[in-house]
Each structure stands twice: as structure tokens, then as C-alpha cells.
Structure 1
């Protein structure tokens, strides 16, 4: 790994991500490079594909839901090239590990809408709730129950009554009741998983202090 290229990349990313120290950014870049496992390519030209990233979400952050893991991938993948580059990796982790309430709010909303129009539609709510509810009853009974849940959700969160949830709707609802942040499924890691990841990623920094 070229030290000059690494230093330049650390500087560039540190200027856009304020929640990590430069030493931590360097550790995350090194970890990314290790995970990609391709030492013969430039640092700014490699990435994690969806399967590799899902493996990280599962093994490190304890996520198990296939649909939500895919959605988290797309929320990390800002340039929509089906690959998470090193900058997207660090920026995404800054929200995952140390995001402010506002950053997490925006991240969850991005995870929950799929079609890129900036709204969570009735159909998307139905699909997400159906995915998260594993009921032993028949599919027909389950669908009817979910439709009722969708109606209740829209009644609670659709402030402008247009049949879909905008970011303004989502923000207002979550600020009034924070438990609604992950209302359509867990897309943020638990605190313990975050601490475990930081202990792994930043262990060289921690050991050098003693």
C-alpha cells in the first residue's frame, strides 16, 4: 500500500467526514483494503460488491434480513454503481457508528424508499412490513393484516394525506416518537455491534496508547 496515496486519501476523506479522527479514517481505509483483498489495485479504484458487503453486515453487524441488507447496500452506494468504494465505506460507517440523530434519520429514510422518487409508497410499506412479519397464518390472512397495519402507519405518519410518506412526514413522525426510526425494519446496527466493530477496526490505535 503506497504511503503517499494512503496519506492523500486519508486527507481527502477526513475533510468530508468529521466523526472520525484521521488515525481512525486510516484504520478504516486499511480494513477496507483488507476486506477487498486486492493489494495490486489503486486504493481509490476498488470496491465491495453487494455479496461482500452483505457478508460484512451479517458477520460484523449481526444483520440477517436479506431485503434490509440489500437496502442498506444501496444506501451506502451513493453513486449507484453497484459497488461500495472506499469513500462510501467510510462515510457510511460514520453514520452507522457515530451518526447524529439527523444523519440516522436520513439514512433510515433512504433505506426505506427504493424507487428513487423520495417517497415511501403504500406498496413499499406493505412489502417491508410483510418481509418483517413472519406469521404462521395463511398468506391471505397475513396480507389482510398487513394492509390494516399499512393504513394505521399512513394515518400516523402521512401528515399531508397524499397516500405516501415524504421525508418531511418521516422526520416529523420520528421526532415525535423516536421508536418509529426503524419502523419498517432494523437497518442500523445495535450499539454492541458498533463497539465490537470499533474495537476490531481501531485496535492498533487503542494498543498504541498503552
Structure 2
């Protein structure tokens, strides 16, 4: 099952354009590698590559590329706080939940909002799904597969060990042991600590 739905990009762009073009939208520039807290507003990111962290514990949730809108559920529920850290300077446009609700009603964007919310929910479900694996190795295996499917920019920006440790919370010694054994068995290939390929991964370790 894909994380995005047909016409998602079109609907995302409709919502983003409507929010950004509001005369009440605020433009914020986030320097490279600076933390930016997502709180109780609506946040529009037109493009970029950034990591998403939980507010407490600084647990890495995911790496994200491209356009994104965060905070759409804030109008209906208590805000979920997390922060993003861009790999290069990026621009965020923010509007209040009240302004967003006004725009949605005036421009009849309810269908488009549903597309964005459904896609965000599917993506975060995929993130959560990986955290409930039956054992530590299964978690590492899933994260290796995820990283292998990521863009070259993501793979070249982070070491395999760092990616797994920040996502899983597993000990560095255990992660390094698993990676070492997988390399010895020619299951994975790495260069300068970065993942370059996966031939296959054993089901068990």
C-alpha cells in the first residue's frame, strides 16, 4: 500500500498555495542544522530535505524530502510537538489554525485537506509500525531497507550507524556489531560509513 494517494500532489499544492498566499502568513527562514519547533500553528514547507525529531528525548522519527504541511490536526486536537532540522537553509510559511480554517472554508478545500491528512497519517503509521518489531534485529533490518530506498542525498548525508541509532534508540555497540556481521557476510556494502547497497538481508540474526 503506497503512502500517497492519487492526485495527492495536486491537492497538497492547492492547500499550500492557499495558505502561503494569505496576507496573514508569516515567512520564517531556518538556517541549516538549526532546530525549529512545530507547535500549534500550520506549517508549510515548499521544498527541502530535513529530519523530524520528537520534542522529548530527541528521538529521530524520519527523514523527509520535498513539500510538507504540518499541524493540520491542531484545529481539532491538542498540538503534537516535534521539531525539524533542515540539512540546508529552508523557508517555512506559518498561519494560525484559525486563519487556516477560514481559508479552507472560503476556498472549499475540504477534499484537499482530507488528501493531505490521509497521506500524513499513512506516513506516520509507517514510522510507528517500524517501532513495534518483534526484536531489535528486525528493527535494524527494516531501517536498513528504508535507508536503502531513500534518495542518494539522504544516503550520502548520514552514516548507517547514526541513522539506526537515532531512529531506534538501540545501543551503539549492538548496532555496530550487527552492521559488522552484515558486512562480513556481504549482505550490505558501505563506504565511509554510508550505505551503498544491499544484496540481501537475513531474516534472523
Q: Which has the higher strand share?
A: 2
Q: Same fold (TM over 0.5)?
A: no
Instruction: Report the TM-score, using the length of structure 1 for normalisation.
Output: 0.33
Write 1 or 2 for the structure with the bigger share of helix: 1
Q: TM-score, normalised by structure 2?
A: 0.34
